[in-house]
Structure 1
């Protein structure tokens, strides 16, 4: 995928590469190697008891946005896969839209470490995810 595409085209291509994220309603507002931002609207279908956005939905948002950040930092032709992810939940998301912002902490030849912060619609920190992504060389056929 080229990072020279117009911004809207790049975001659309990234989302189409992750159909699960599109199914959940995740959208990208920004996508670049230094910062990726995505959102997930609250909906009753994504909630647990009491109208709270399910932690798994928030983790899917953080994992998707973080993985895209890692992907945009890969050398040409290489792929990535999450090998470790840790999330701390700090507050419930009960309405509005959750927003995730991912930034690389380390970009290396074998691993990329990304930190993703998830905010509620009032801008309060709702969670933080740190994930390690493996840098995968192309497989020979």
Structure 2
């Protein structure tokens, strides 16, 4: 039995790092999580575009959130692998949309693909990550 997604609770209960980055979850179901992020000056690289590490961090958070929506009570998740393809730069001041969809939802692992789109609709990055499902009574 999966948990029933509650968008308000998901948005409210993002980890501190996700809140620091400014991630805003706009929709969430067990098969798709969508978030937006405004590219603030604090997230730029030396070229004046969104830092690649910020892209990876956003997508890692998205995959973890998506996996969380598919866990049973008492389970948690951790990222065990992540691969990023950077396709184009994201300029300062832009707002990106990140959409996570499942490639595999198994009992022990889940694989999520997050597509990062700029406000002009062009794909800027694609991240594929593997989440391990943890069975631990402390959760």
TM-score, normalisation: structure 1: 0.89
- Is the Cα contact below 8 Å between 1:104 and 1:114 reproduced in 2? yes
1:75, distance to aligned residue in structure 2 (A): 2.1
Q: Which runs of 5+ in 2 are unaligned?
A: none
Q: Which has the higher helix share?
A: 1
The answer on whether the counterparts of 1:39 and 1:61 sit within 8 Å (CA) in structure 2 is no
1:48 matched residue in structure 2: 45
Change (3 A) 1:52 1:63: same
Take 2:21 and 2:125, find their aligned partners in 1: how far apart are those partners? 18
Q: What is the CA distance between 1:66 and its match in structure 2?
A: 1.2
Preserved contact between residue 38 and residue 61 of structure 1 (Cα < 8 Å): no
Moved more, 42-51 or 109-118: 42-51
Aligned residue pair count: 136
Is residue 92 from structure 1 mapped to residue 92 from structure 2 by the alignment? no
- The residue aligned with 1:33 is 30
Residues in 1 aligned to 2:116 and 2:61: alpha-carbon distance in whole angstroms? 12
Q: What is the CA-CA distance between 1:11 and the residue it aligns to?
A: 2.3
The structure 1 segments of at least 4 consecutive aligned residues displaced by more than 2 Å after TM superposition are: 2-5, 7-11
Q: Is the alpha carbon distance of 1:49 and 1:74 closer, same or farther for their aligned partners in structure 2, counting shifts above 3 Å?
A: same
Shift of 1:56: 0.6
**Paired residue for 1:117, among 115, 118, 122?**
115
Residue 9 of structure 1 is matched in structure 2 by 9
User: Greater RCO between the two (CA within 8 Å, min separation 6)?
Assistant: 2
> Which residue of the partner structure matches residue 105 of structure 1?
103
Q: CA deviation at 1:8?
A: 2.4
C-alpha displacement of 1:49: 1.9
The TM-score normalised by the length of structure 2 is 0.90
